[in-house]
A and B are shown apart, each in its own frame.
Chain A
Amino acid sequence: MGSRWTVERVLRLAPDSASAKAARTLARPATWSALGSTESLVWGKCQGSAREPYQVTVDLHEPAFRCTCPSRKFPCKHGLALLLLWAANDGTVTDLDEASGFAADWAHERAERAAKAASRAASTPDPEAAAKRQADRESLMSAGLDEFERWLFDLVRQGLAGVRAQPAGFWETAAARLVDAQVPGLAERVRALGAEVHVRTDWAEHVLGRVGRWFLAVRAWRRRASLSAAELGDLRALLGWARRSDEVLAGERVADRWWVLGLRQDEDERLLSQRTWLYGERTGQMVVLLDFAAAGGALRVPHVLGSVLDGELALYPGAEPRRALLAGEVTTATGDGLPVADSVTAALERSASWLAANPWLERIPLALRAVTVVPDEDGTVLVDNEGHALPLERGADVWPLLALSGGHPVDLFGEWIDERVHPCSLVAGGRLVAV
């Protein structure tokens, strides 16, 4: 039998500290039944709030998690708690030769799916059919974007002042049409704007900026034949025309020592997303790993903040900061602090040059050198050595930032969204700590 993991290794898989906490609470034998493990699987039933106990299974190889609970966190607290019980190795979870029941079923399904995927990849594609599929899709998208342009025109003709009075269906209908036209990225943004107009005080400016950029996307799409590969890549990302990962893996690759600077998980009612910001020590490139999962689906286990991944990344076509995929094995080391940090002015200059190449950039990574957290009545600001101030996101909890910095200047990494800093991590005691 393979040796069991340490508690630390298990807790590193937790998407956030709340999950880790919840998992520790659940890791009591009393709430579990039908526990067991093999070399590759751990399983058990957990009595949660529902009448039927949740069936929890973990494949240790990836690791991959499956749980019948409705949580959108991934891995959920049940999966983590199960691993904690198993890691304790106190006889609660016993080693068995074969998996049983639901665990065996799941493992079987996974094996079948993997085999199917492998055979799909092996089969030679038919180039003619592929070209036809692409042409069909493009004409569908073109028709959808033409219609969307008319919708934008109507909006501007009637005046933005009325958008707050529109019912939810106004946005929902436009979004649904975009989905039908296979432009899900824009659809998602339309839906989001429908909610934002009701919560933002600067909603009017915000709407004008958004519709302008969408119009730009519509016009860029019509001229797509004359766009560079990078421009087309960013446009496709905005529209939501996904690339297959094998296509990306076959493209440009960069080997480097990649520092994990910041992690963010977001969720709405449909989608769970995770951004991992990486900085390449040799190439000086800032890239982002994006993981998505439908609610209840499987999100990739996050990398450890502050660690350094030595290996190759495959880059999506686009302007910097580019989206990337892990290509193959990486070795992991522990880093110390932020490998890159700029003054406020230099960071904003860099962000301006990125915007010049990709006007649709929404989240811009900022690595700031020696900023002081200054709470103020009008909202907290980060002030650098030159006295330049950046406002912190509205409603941010400033206390962890103050506790970790103690009012001293600290190196901080965050995302620059709508002219506000959303902090992800900062350097305290020589180590990168999540905030």
Chain B
Amino acid sequence: MSDWDGLLATALVGTGRRAPRDDVLAGVVEPGALPVEGPEAEVLASAAVLAVYRRAGWVPPTWQGERPAPAGPDTRPECSETAAQLLELLLERGVRMDGGNAALTEHWLRACVAAGRRPPARLLVSLLQTATVETSLREAARDAAGPRGAWLAVRNRRWSWAAAVDVNGTEGDVGERFATAARAERLALLTALRRTDPAGARELVEGTWPSEQAASRAALLDALGTGLSDADEDFLESALADRAATVRAAAAALLDRLPRSRRARRMAARVEALTRPDGGIALPAEPDAGARADGITDQREPGHGLRASWLIQLVGAAPLPPVRDPRGEPGELVAGWTRAALRQRHHDWLATLAEATPTAELLGALPPERAAAIVAVQPSVDARFAGLLAACPGPWPATFSADVVARLRGVRTDRLLTLAYPALAERLHPAALPDVDDWLEATAREQRARRRMLRGLAHALTIRRTIEQEFS
């Protein structure tokens, strides 16, 4: 047998100290077939023969380990080449928007998911890396990346956020995993299950409830916020009597969102008891044990006294009365209605309150068309207006977008444009692109800052128009 290791040993110490053995080439070439003279030449010639011999005769090992299960199929067709190039530009920062590419990337991802398409596999690594840093993109990135992305995420700890929560499998499986997994995974499992089977998910919680620690109980209740419905009422009602204040508060916050609950009726009765014959409402006295049990606390609402704060909590947790103009009503009552409207997501109440006093919070809770209608009738174009634009959810309707551009164009300073810029870039309808181009055209060269912003805006709108075209 040939002896590479023996040859290597000789070569390492040197032929000056050790003579090469004469059998290192045994079995490879006939003895004496190499016409060489001297030990150095012999070592070198043997090395030449054996190195090539070993390389040419290299035998691949047979793989003994497992082959991991491949990624599940993704039946969604790949997006168009143009759309893929655009995503690549956004991810690799080939285009750079003021304020970052995250908003446009998210727009791309959501449009892709909505169109039932998927990004090409070659961009998945870049997508997962980007969304690992840019956490706001994670949900959209996970949806877009699909089974292939989830498969990759299982194999890379930094991408674990993108791993799919597998709610399939037998009921016992899910129950077992819920009972034994670490807290973060339990919450992820619960949230995922609430989307598809809210009752089953709640039953899981009820099953382990007595043995949960207080902090876990509060977190589990928060997770029930996903897929919340009247069916959860009994369980939440029982949690109102929990030993821990944090758990009681979490249960109360969820019940605030259920105006048909028994607790809401009890709150309504308490408000009713305070109603004077003239329709006005008196400030409550010290809450009784029942009100305390329903979650009324002594926490002061900003700008209100203790008794007013109690009333705000009572009204905020009761069913809303028929919509009425809040102008001229007492402040604590309006504050209570506002809280109830926000919690119950009552669009008519929210719109009416916003018409009286447009605030970012109210506008943000409205659908885009209704919020836009309120912003559109604001008389003055000032910093407050820019703030409302920032709060007004998108996508904005085309006419509203054109109107906003026209109104901002009338402002001489750049300050408002600077304030509103991120919202404009993200939500302006692409149909407003000609208006923006026209504005840019008409802006003097000296107004560098303004021109830069307008160019950025036009750029963002062009990209969004392309996204819409490619996924239409």
Q: Chain A residues in contact with chain B, CB under 8 A?
A: 17, 20-21, 24-25, 152-153, 156-162, 204-205, 208-209, 211-213, 215-216, 219, 344-345, 348, 351-352, 355-356, 359, 372, 374-376, 381, 383, 387-390, 399-400, 402-404, 406-408, 419, 428-429, 433
* Neighbouring B residues of A161 by C-beta, 8 Å: 12-14
B78, CB-defined interface residue at 8 Å: yes
Q: Are B55 and A355 in contact, with the CB atoms below 8 A? A: yes
A400 to B127, CA, bound (A): 12
The answer, among A21, A156, A356, for a CB contact under 8 Å with B44, is A156
Q: Are B148 and A403 in contact, with the CB atoms below 8 A? A: yes
Apart from the given pairs A160-B11, A215-B44, A216-B45, 15 other A-B contacts in the complex at a CB distance below 8 Å: A24-B94, A24-B95, A25-B93, A152-B44, A153-B38, A157-B16, A158-B14, A159-B17, A162-B14, A208-B8, A212-B48, A372-B67, A374-B65, A400-B122, A407-B151
The minimal Cβ–Cβ distance linking A212 to chain B, given in whole angstroms, is 3
* Neighbouring B residues of A402 by C-beta, 8 Å: 152, 155
Q: Are B47 and A383 in contact, with the CB atoms below 8 A? A: no
What are 20 A-B residue pairs whose CB atoms fall within 8 Å in the complex?
A: A21-B93, A152-B44, A153-B41, A156-B14, A156-B43, A157-B14, A157-B15, A204-B11, A208-B11, A209-B47, A212-B50, A213-B51, A356-B56, A359-B48, A372-B67, A374-B63, A375-B68, A389-B61, A403-B125, A406-B71
The minimal Cβ–Cβ distance linking A412 to chain B, given in whole angstroms, is 14
* Neighbouring A residues of B38 by C-beta, 8 Å: 153
* Neighbouring A residues of B7 by C-beta, 8 Å: 208
The minimal Cβ–Cβ distance linking B450 to chain A, given in whole angstroms, is 15
B437, CB-defined interface residue at 8 Å: no
A354 to B49, CA, bound (A): 15
* Neighbouring A residues of B16 by C-beta, 8 Å: 157-159
Closest chain A residue to B34, Cβ basis: A219
How many B residues touch the partner, as a band?
A: 35 or more
B92, CB-defined interface residue at 8 Å: yes
Closest chain B residue to A345, Cβ basis: B60
* Neighbouring A residues of B57 by C-beta, 8 Å: 352
The answer, among A20, A157, A204, A381, for a CB contact under 8 Å with B8, is A204
The minimal Cβ–Cβ distance linking A213 to chain B, given in whole angstroms, is 6
* Neighbouring A residues of B13 by C-beta, 8 Å: 159, 161
The answer, among B45, B50, B62, B71, for a CB contact under 8 Å with A408, is B71
B350-402 residues with Cβ-Cβ distance < 8 A to A are: none
A344 to B56, CA, bound (A): 13
Closest chain B residue to A406, Cβ basis: B71
The minimal Cβ–Cβ distance linking A5 to chain B, given in whole angstroms, is 16
B214, CB-defined interface residue at 8 Å: no
Q: Are A433 and B122 in contact, with the CB atoms below 8 A? A: yes
Q: Are A213 and B152 in contact, with the CB atoms below 8 A? A: no
Q: Are B14 and A159 in contact, with the CB atoms below 8 A? A: yes
**How does the 8 Å CB contact mask read for B101-123 relative to A, with 1 for contact and 0 for none?**
00000000000000000001110
The answer, among B12, B70, B124, for a CB contact under 8 Å with A407, is B70
Closest chain B residue to A409, Cβ basis: B70
B40, CB-defined interface residue at 8 Å: yes
Known: A204-B12, A352-B56, A389-B63. A156 touches B40 (CB 8 A): yes
A375 to B95, CA, bound (A): 34
A159 to B61, CA, bound (A): 32
B156, CB-defined interface residue at 8 Å: yes
B184, CB-defined interface residue at 8 Å: no
The minimal Cβ–Cβ distance linking B392 to chain A, given in whole angstroms, is 31
A190 to B56, CA, bound (A): 23
B52, CB-defined interface residue at 8 Å: yes
The minimal Cβ–Cβ distance linking B39 to chain A, given in whole angstroms, is 8
* Neighbouring B residues of A400 by C-beta, 8 Å: 122, 125
* Neighbouring B residues of A345 by C-beta, 8 Å: 60
Q: Chain B residues in contact with chain A, CB under 8 A?
A: 4, 7-8, 11-17, 38-41, 43-52, 55-58, 60-63, 65, 67-71, 78, 89, 92-96, 120-122, 124-125, 148, 151-152, 155-156
Closest chain A residue to B49, Cβ basis: A212
Known: A352-B56, A375-B155, A419-B55. A387 touches B63 (CB 8 A): yes
Q: Are A403 and B60 in contact, with the CB atoms below 8 A? A: no
Closest chain A residue to B43, Cβ basis: A156
Q: Are A359 and B62 in contact, with the CB atoms below 8 A? A: no
Q: Are A383 and B67 in contact, with the CB atoms below 8 A? A: yes
**Residue among B4, B40, B46, B148 with the highest chain A CB neighbour number at 10 A:** B40
A216 to B65, CA, bound (A): 40
* Neighbouring A residues of B68 by C-beta, 8 Å: 374-375, 407
Q: Are A212 and B56 in contact, with the CB atoms below 8 A? A: no
A21 to B95, CA, bound (A): 9
A402 to B148, CA, bound (A): 9
A348 to B16, CA, bound (A): 38
Closest chain B residue to A11, Cβ basis: B85
A344 to B60, CA, bound (A): 8
A152 to B121, CA, bound (A): 50
Q: Are A212 and B45 in contact, with the CB atoms below 8 A? A: yes
The minimal Cβ–Cβ distance linking A326 to chain B, given in whole angstroms, is 28
* Neighbouring B residues of A219 by C-beta, 8 Å: 45
* Neighbouring B residues of A383 by C-beta, 8 Å: 63, 67
Closest chain A residue to B44, Cβ basis: A215
Closest chain A residue to B89, Cβ basis: A24
A66 to B197, CA, bound (A): 64
Q: Are A355 and B48 in contact, with the CB atoms below 8 A? A: no
* Neighbouring B residues of A428 by C-beta, 8 Å: 121-122
Q: Are B58 and A211 in contact, with the CB atoms below 8 A? A: no
* Neighbouring B residues of A213 by C-beta, 8 Å: 47-48, 51-52
* Neighbouring A residues of B17 by C-beta, 8 Å: 159
* Neighbouring B residues of A408 by C-beta, 8 Å: 70-71
Q: Are A376 and B40 in contact, with the CB atoms below 8 A? A: no
The minimal Cβ–Cβ distance linking B317 to chain A, given in whole angstroms, is 49
Q: Are A156 and B52 in contact, with the CB atoms below 8 A? A: no
Q: Are B60 and A348 in contact, with the CB atoms below 8 A? A: yes
A157 to B43, CA, bound (A): 10
A313 to B13, CA, bound (A): 49
The answer, among B52, B55, B65, B124, for a CB contact under 8 Å with A403, is B124
Q: Are B125 and A429 in contact, with the CB atoms below 8 A? A: no
**Residue among B39, B48, B125 with the highest chain A CB neighbour number at 10 A:** B48
The minimal Cβ–Cβ distance linking B294 to chain A, given in whole angstroms, is 53
* Neighbouring B residues of A381 by C-beta, 8 Å: 63
Q: Are A388 and B63 in contact, with the CB atoms below 8 A? A: yes
A351 to B121, CA, bound (A): 31
* Neighbouring A residues of B65 by C-beta, 8 Å: 374, 376
Q: Which 4 A-B pairs have the closest CB atoms?
A: A212-B47, A159-B14, A407-B70, A209-B51
Q: Are A153 and B148 in contact, with the CB atoms below 8 A? A: no
Q: Are A21 and B94 in contact, with the CB atoms below 8 A? A: yes
Closest chain A residue to B91, Cβ basis: A21
Closest chain B residue to A343, Cβ basis: B60
Known: A213-B51, A389-B61. A407 touches B71 (CB 8 A): yes
A351 to B68, CA, bound (A): 29
Q: Are B125 and A399 in contact, with the CB atoms below 8 A? A: yes
Closest chain B residue to A359, Cβ basis: B52
Q: Are B48 and A215 in contact, with the CB atoms below 8 A? A: yes
A105 to B121, CA, bound (A): 46
* Neighbouring B residues of A153 by C-beta, 8 Å: 38, 40-41, 44
A433 to B51, CA, bound (A): 34
Closest chain B residue to A220, Cβ basis: B48
Closest chain B residue to A403, Cβ basis: B124
* Neighbouring B residues of A348 by C-beta, 8 Å: 58, 60
* Neighbouring B residues of A355 by C-beta, 8 Å: 52, 55-56
* Neighbouring B residues of A406 by C-beta, 8 Å: 70-71, 121, 148, 151
**Residue among A20, A205, A344, A381 with the highest chain B CB neighbour number at 10 A:** A205
* Neighbouring B residues of A209 by C-beta, 8 Å: 47, 51, 55
